[in-house]
Amino acid sequence: METHGLLMVFTGNGKGKTTAALGMAMRSAGHGLKVCIIQFIKGSWTYGEIEAIRRYADCIDLHVMGRGFTWKSDNLEEDRRLALEGWNLARQCMDSGTYHLVILDEFTYLLHYKMLDLDTCLKALAKRRKEQHVVITGRYAPDALVEAADLVTEMQAIKHPLQAGIKAQRGIEF
């Protein structure tokens, strides 16, 4: 079957964006296809996810970029340097031909806070290998990214247990 590489975006203010990306990683891994996950906010993948991924180490590579920042930190120069480093890694992974699926988790924030140039990123994404599937997650996906994507899902927050004062639950939140 011919592979048509898709650009996919999971955005919105509801829970489930990163979880959906992980589900897709598992689905690819189930086919024995290689997946690369780049975490753009350190700690955005929790203990439960990291341990699960470890069991698929032959199929899923995980890279952690950044330093746990919110992309609104006091050291803008360092943030920009790390953003560029992460983006360069993402491009390498997309160009390598190694991966069926590349997941850029919380990448929208780099665009939203203008840590990276949106046009440059969109051009590079558009020029990726034609078989390369890419998932981008995070709130505030810029309009131009939504426009460029083949699949966009917006998670809408209707209720979250935190609002009722319920603490984060093991296996659900971490």
85 is catalytic: no
139 binds ligand ATP (CB under 6 A): yes
Shortest Cβ distance from residue 127 to ligand ATP (Å)?
Answer: 27
Is the Cβ–Cβ distance between 36 and 59 less than 8 Å?
no
Exposure class string for 15-25: b at 16+ Cβ within 10 A, else e: eebbeebbebb
- 14 scored as a contact of ligand ATP (CB under 6 A): yes
Q: Is 46 a catalytic residue?
A: no
Q: Which does 5 bind (CB under 5 to 8 A by kind): ligand ATP, Mg ion, none?
A: none
Which ranges constitute the DSSP H helices of the chain? 17-30, 47-54, 76-96, 108-112, 118-126, 143-148
CA distances from 140 to 14, 65, 71, 113, 148 (A): 12, 20, 13, 10, 15
Q: Which residues within the stretch 17-46 sit at the binding site for ligand ATP (CB under 6 A)?
A: 17-19, 44
Active site residue 15: yes
| Site size toward ligand ATP, by CB under 6 A | 15
- Binding interface with Mg ion (CB under 5 A): 17-18
Phi, psi of 36 (to 5 degrees): -120, 130
- Taking the C-alpha atoms of residue 65 and residue 83, their distance in angstroms, rounded to an integer, is 8
Active-site hit among 40, 45, 71, 107: 71
**Choices 8-16, 59-67, 85-93, 121-129 (CB under 6 A): range interacting with ligand ATP:** 8-16
Residues making contact with ligand ATP (CB under 6 A): 13-19, 44, 137, 139, 155, 157, 160, 162, 173
The catalytic residues are: 13, 15, 17-19, 27, 69, 71, 106
